Structure 1
Amino acid sequence: MGEPERDERARRWRLVLGGAAAGGLEGADARMDAALAALYDGGGERGAGLGGSAPRVARWLGDIREFFPSTVVQVMQQDAIERLDLTRLLLEPEMLEAVEPDVHLVGTLLSLNRLMPDRARESARAVVRRVVAQLEARLARRTRAAVTGALDRSARTHRPRRPADIDWHRTIRANLKNYLPDRGTLVPSRLVGYGRRRQAVQREVVLCVDQSGSMAASVVYSSVFGAVLASMRSLRTSLVVFDTAVVDLTEQLTDPVDVLFGTQLGGGTDINRAIAYCQGLITRPADTIFLLISDLYEGGVREEMLRRVAAMTAAGVQVIVLLALSDEGTPQYDHDNAAALAAMGVPAFACTPDAFPDLMAAAIERRSYDQIPMASRGS
């Protein structure tokens, strides 16, 4: 190993170890070490370097954005909030202007919604709007395409009214058994055609979202997906959030930021009460997809909750339980309730945001969910 390689390795070890080992660092390296030390030296005590000053923290946020990529900045930002108890500083406008926005930060801001002074509220909305715009850019088009394609496929008919409505590829595949090799002819006994495009609502979608503190990321993604689905005229989409109370946010679905600021993260959970409310929204059970997004920790009447789900499925409603709708991996959830629902034929699993469009397509077409990449299946 040459001298330059040894020097670079020593430099990296000084940055990793920090403290006395960081002696000899200069310039940008010294500033990088100071930014790391402010957060991670001193066992996470407030005296480690950031203190309780919003301007000081804002400067620190600027430093870490200079030295690290955004994915690392988001991790360090979350560590600072948790390790140094900096949550209250997020109520300061200068802090909100300095942070790197991400889903976790949005969840933290929403949990502070009722405490936020007016001067910080607009800054907070701007942060949330930036994150929502990023998520919509990533997810909206694929969701619309997946849902539209599934609706078109589910509308196929075996009695097309005119030749232009015949799906020739599917018709040929469906009639290969009728091929006459001596004549080189295929005799179709069954036609497969495109259903006429309907302007009326084809499916009802009810999103019932648990807004307890552990579901923060799921609330953010659910609001974005709810707004996307609500923009499609072929769907009638409702969004209901709940803790021990139930709030219908359907009227606000034109703006997911308004939806998010209409939530109140934290508190208890009464799933039974939320399902009871949602039952009243369903007008066409056989054409309804009911998505319960919850970790299934029930603070209400468990037996009645299960009876309501059983009644919905018996009426023809497609009931799907998402234990989480996020990128956070395997969630904590109530295994007993998940198993009880599975025994009724109700799937319960965690779903990543990128898999949600495929999930909706499978639900519309009543296909199996086995081929959709999920974070974890409930049992």
Structure 2
Amino acid sequence: MTISEQERQRRWRFILGDGGAESLGFALSGRDAQIDAALGALYETRGEGEEGAPERRGGLEASAPRVARWLGDIREFFPTSVVRLLQQDAMARLNLRQLLLEPEILQSVTADVHLVATLMSLRNLAPSRAKATMRQVVQQVVDELMHRLTQPLEQAVRGSLNRALRNNRPRPHEINWERTIRANLKHYQPAYKTVIAEHLIGYGRQQRQAVKEIVLCVDQSGSMATSVVYASIFAAVLAAIPALKTQLVVFDTAVVDLTDLLADPVDVLFATQLG
């Protein structure tokens, strides 16, 4: 058996679970057995449902210590992208949302936008002992997204504002001769006693003027939860650009202006009413 064939059988064994062990004739041991146990806790078939149909419900159940151990195991065995997918499946398949209100569980999860959206919908149910940890988890995700989004977003917005003030491809009647000459003095040619303009600078065209006031209107209904997270961070980045006036308004059955909270996107998220 080649290595590639062995790896193929190994992966099929993970997919099929205990039910595929006999048909494949492929046994797992060591670390692979631990990985299989972690997957089985979430996906393994246990018992029968109505009319004898298999009932896939996993083996985690509503035990905070057991879930905390399982979260630690999947972080050890799988890359972050897979961990996030497994966490989402656990919430959907095993109804573990309520366990997110336990501090020890919150400290064990791998945070992402979907988790933040879930926490925001549960925060009014959270006991006081869990609220500080909940805020730390939200802050972690916000910081990560701010780090990824701030620079490219600021560059795009500032570039748009600058293009509105300067026309770098002017028609003859649009040339700003004073600025063009100043910018090209280094290209003065003594032999010709003249300036040869390498770059022409024109007056900004009225129709290309950039928008300097932005109002973000965000639907905060439950189905839009992840979009609210991104929009809050987007608004906070825009609000930090002095040349822009940014407002954030959220709505469902009522309209709420959250502009005054834009200095801290975490405060914005905790002020929304997701659900």
Pair 1:163-2:179 in alignment: yes
- Please state how far the C-alpha of 1:73 moved relative to its aligned partner: 0.7
Query: How far apart, in 1, do the equivalents of 2:179 and 2:106 lie?
Result: 60
The CA distance in 2 between the partners of 1:40 and 1:147, in whole Å, is 46
Alpha carbons 1:50, 1:57 under 8 Å: kept: yes
Deviation at 1:22, TM superposition (A): 3.7
1:218-257 matched pairs, under 5 angstroms: 218-257=227-266
- 1:48-67 alignment, distance < 5 Å: 48-67=58-77
Number of the residue aligned with 1:117: 127
Of 39, 42, 47, the residue aligned with 1:39 is 42
Q: Specify the alignment match of 1:139 in structure 2.
A: 149
Q: Distance in 1 between matches of 2:37 and 2:21?
A: 10
The equivalent of 1:264 in structure 2 is: 273
Structure 1 segments unaligned to the other structure (5+ residues): 169-185, 196-200, 267-379
Q: CA deviation at 1:65?
A: 0.9
| Maintained 8 Å contact 2:177/2:201 | no
Could you tell me how far apart the structure 2 residues matched to 1:5 and 1:205 are? 55
Q: Which residue of structure 2 lines up, in the alignment, with residue 358 of structure 1?
A: none
Q: Classify 1:77/1:162 alpha carbon distance in 2 versus 1 (closer, same or farther; 3 Å).
A: same
Please list every run of 5 or more consecutive structure 2 residues that lacks an aligned counterpart in the other structure: 46-53, 168-173, 185-195
Question: Identity across aligned pairs (percent)?
Answer: 55
How far does residue 5 in structure 1 lie from its aligned partner after superposition? 4.2
Does the Cα contact within 8 Å between 1:110 and 1:261 map onto a contact in 2?
yes
Match of 2:170 in 1: none
1:56-95 → structure 2 map (5 Å cutoff): 56-95=66-105
Larger Rg: 2
Residue pairs, 1:98-109, within 5 angstroms: 98-109=108-119
- Describe the superposition over 1:274-298 as per-residue Cα deviations: whole angstroms up to 9, x where unpaired: xxxxxxxxxxxxxxxxxxxxxxxxx
> Secondary structure at 1:232's aligned position in 2?
coil
Check the 8 A contact 1:166/1:191 in 2, yes or no.
Answer: no
Could you tell me how far apart the structure 1 residues matched to 2:258 and 2:129 are? 25
CA distance in 2, matches of 1:211, 1:156: 38
SS class of match (2:111)? coil
Structure with the higher helix share, 1 or 2:
2
TM-score, normalization by structure 2: 0.80
Residue 207 of structure 1 is matched in structure 2 by 216
Q: Residue 164 of structure 2 contacts residue 204 of structure 2 at CA under 8 Å; is this kept in 1?
A: no
Cα shift readout 1:46-88 (whole Å, capped 9, x = no counterpart): 5x21010111101101111111111011011000001110000
Deviation at 1:9, TM superposition (A): 3.0
Corresponding pairs, count: 241
Contact 2:179 2:201 in 1 (8 A): no
Distance in 2, matches of 1:161 and 1:225, equals: 39
Q: What is aligned with 2:17?
A: 18
Write the letter of the residue equivalent to 2:82. V
Shift of 1:8: 3.2
User: Which residue identity lines up with residue 32 of structure 1 in the other structure?
Assistant: I
Q: 1:129 to 1:30 in 2, by over 3 A?
A: same
Q: TM-score, normalised by structure 1?
A: 0.59
Among candidates 121, 126, 138, match of residue 136 of structure 2: 126
